[in-house]
Chains A and B, each alone.
Chain A
Amino acid sequence: MKPYLWMTDFTPQTEWIDGKGALLWLAFFFSEIGAGVYMVSLFLGLWAGCLSGWLGCAILGGGFHMAYLGRPARAWRSILRPGSSELSRGIILMGLFLGLGVFQMAPGLVSGLPWEGNTLFFKIVLSILAFFVITHGFMTLSFMRAVPFWNSGIMPVLCLASGLWVGGQFTAAMAMGTGNFPLVATLEPVARWFLFAYMLLTLFYFWNAAHGFMASKRSVEVLLKGDLAPLFYVGIVGFALIIPLIITLYFCANPVDSARGLLWLRVFCALVGDLVLRYCILKAARYMPLIHSNLLTGAHSL
């Protein structure tokens, strides 16, 4: 971008996607999908699923978050401003989720503990905390008024749908891996609703952005016609929406163990598609031009 385009054209955001910024994209993905896996597994009573989700959230999500920070040794300071900073609130809630998650999973690992992990208390409290962890990333983005593409109330809801859909698919993959097809069959009707919500919210988010501020319209243009178009059509339209939809429709009419390869393909598409969706949302974000047209009238010649 030439210097003058910075003031007269829409500037792409780079800090949260290019170079080391890509670590934040991965951090959001793993922490949110991990929490989604945990939440779905918690209600199904799957201890291994809860552990996988917790590890994904803590090790991968937390690890990428720390690796992204410029001064990770001071990360503890990020809990100091929950009153105004969404990032601060998210970190606190993630800490509570991970801490309480240990207590919930401990009885499955150590026998003789004076409490049980599969209680209504844990289910309610940890579901609420998982909900906040799932929505944390997109909620942080939605608070950025400077980036109209992100500054949308649909973002947290889309994030929730994404966490549950992809988290549910990951849980189904674990069930398939252990040969537990009755569980996959139990999950299938729920997966349909998760996919339906995910598709609806994804389309609504882009439609809403295309009818919003100039900068968010430009972001949508970049996705539909610009550099990101191949990624958008293959990754989001193909992998995230169309292929899972076709497979899900197939399983509406056929039992889940009739085509196991398709189940694996759907899990793969859900993971890749959601990763691409998040990448595109971060990469397509644009700032408004710095110089407003009413000031341009006052600009002078040298």
Chain B
Amino acid sequence: MARWGMVINLHTCIGCYNCMISCKQEHFLPPGIFFSRVLVGEMGTYPSVLKLIYPVLCNHCDDPPCVDVCPTGATHKRKDGIVTVNPDVCIGCRSCLMACPYQQRSYLKRTDDEYFPGQGLTPYEAIGQELSPKEKGTVVKCNFCAEIVDEGVERGLTPGVDRQATPACVKACPVHARHFGDLDDPESNVSTLIRNKKATPLRPEHGTEPSVFYITTG
């Protein structure tokens, strides 16, 4: 069984937010909710200012603290390493939000927010509510586009290699800063990148064994 993971090359990323927008489109996310984010900021003071661009998303940890604290089993880790939330089982206690050291979960307070308040739903939003209904009062997060990955695998495609089986944010990246693949396969694109480029996860000291790695060296 594969263990899906992602590698993000910070030296290639241009901070275009395409991953963020494509993720919102793919999952029909309501206003204010993001599964994938690009954090852009700066450190230091003029003239020694450092511009920071960090695309972040759920790390799909191998030892996920969010799964341990969930009292209902709504948050669970699949055999392929993808950590998902079952909205039909979640009770909205937000323990998983507190337990995630990467703060990559969101609580759906409302599901009827409009992107243009008072103007009604756009046709896109209306279709989204039909195709991907959200449960108010539950927790949501990135699922590595599990539905796309699963369908691709069923069709014999290789996620990360074949576009039809690859997560939306990876497909949308115009500079190929994002790579998706099987971490358990030593010859996969992601394993090769991690090995050759010495990619590291965010804050490994949390001990959660993230499946998202960052290339920080040229």
Residues of A within 8 A of B (CB): 2-8, 11, 13, 15-16, 20-21, 68-72, 74-75, 77-81, 84-88, 91, 140, 143-147, 287-288, 290-292, 294-302
Judge whether B101 and A87 touch: CB under 8 Å. no
Find the B residue at minimum CB distance from A65.
B93
B99 touches A (CB below 8 Å): yes
Given contacts A74-B72, A84-B68, A297-B216, contact A288 B91 (CB under 8 A): no
Residues of B within 8 A of A (CB): 10-11, 14-15, 39-43, 50-54, 56, 65, 67-74, 89-95, 97-103, 107-109, 135-139, 200, 202-203, 205-206, 214, 216-217
In whole angstroms, how far apart are the Cα atoms of A3 and B20 in the complex?
15
Given contacts A16-B98, A70-B92, contact A87 B52 (CB under 8 A): no
In whole angstroms, how far apart are the Cα atoms of A301 and B11 in the complex?
9
Judge whether B65 and A91 touch: CB under 8 Å. no
Given contacts A295-B200, A300-B10, contact A7 B69 (CB under 8 A): no
Judge whether B41 and A3 touch: CB under 8 Å. yes
Residues of A within 8 A of B138 (CB): 70-71
Residues of B within 8 A of A6 (CB): 39, 103
Chain A nearest Cβ from B118, distance in angstroms: 23
Judge whether B51 and A11 touch: CB under 8 Å. no
Judge whether B91 and A75 touch: CB under 8 Å. yes
Judge whether A144 and B99 touch: CB under 8 Å. yes
In whole angstroms, how far apart are the Cα atoms of A299 and B135 in the complex?
38
Judge whether A146 and B101 touch: CB under 8 Å. yes
> Which 6 pairs between the two chains have the least Cβ-Cβ distance?
A70-B92, A4-B41, A298-B216, A70-B137, A146-B101, A88-B71
CB-contact partner of A147 in B74, B93, B98, B135, under 8 A: B98
Judge whether A4 and B40 touch: CB under 8 Å. yes
Judge whether B71 and A78 touch: CB under 8 Å. yes
In whole angstroms, how far apart are the Cα atoms of A291 and B56 in the complex?
10
Residues of A within 8 A of B40 (CB): 3-4
14 CB < 8 A contacts A-B: A4-B39, A6-B39, A69-B137, A70-B107, A140-B95, A144-B99, A291-B52, A291-B202, A295-B216, A298-B10, A298-B217, A299-B10, A299-B51, A300-B53
In whole angstroms, how far apart are the Cα atoms of A293 and B139 in the complex?
30
CB-contact partner of B98 in A69, A85, A146, A296, under 8 A: A146
Find the B residue at minimum CB distance from A148.
B101
Given contacts A75-B91, A295-B216, A302-B51, contact A91 B10 (CB under 8 A): no
In whole angstroms, how far apart are the Cα atoms of A300 and B14 in the complex?
10
Using A69-B137, A295-B214 as known contacts, list a sample of 10 further A-B pairs with CB atoms less than 8 Å apart, ordered by residue number in A: A15-B97, A72-B91, A77-B74, A80-B71, A146-B206, A288-B203, A295-B54, A298-B11, A300-B51, A302-B14
Chain A nearest Cβ from B27, distance in angstroms: 19
Judge whether A146 and B216 touch: CB under 8 Å. no
Chain B nearest Cβ from A296, distance in angstroms: 7
In whole angstroms, how far apart are the Cα atoms of A120 and B112 in the complex?
55
Judge whether B72 and A77 touch: CB under 8 Å. yes
Chain B nearest Cβ from A77, distance in angstroms: 4
CB-contact partner of A145 in B74, B101, B135, B217, under 8 A: B101
Chain A nearest Cβ from B29, distance in angstroms: 17
CB-contact partner of B202 in A20, A69, A292, under 8 A: A292
Find the B residue at minimum CB distance from A75.
B91
Residues of B within 8 A of A301 (CB): 50-51
Judge whether B69 and A4 touch: CB under 8 Å. no
Judge whether B95 and A85 touch: CB under 8 Å. yes
Judge whether A87 and B93 touch: CB under 8 Å. yes
Given contacts A71-B92, A81-B71, A88-B71, contact A296 B202 (CB under 8 A): no
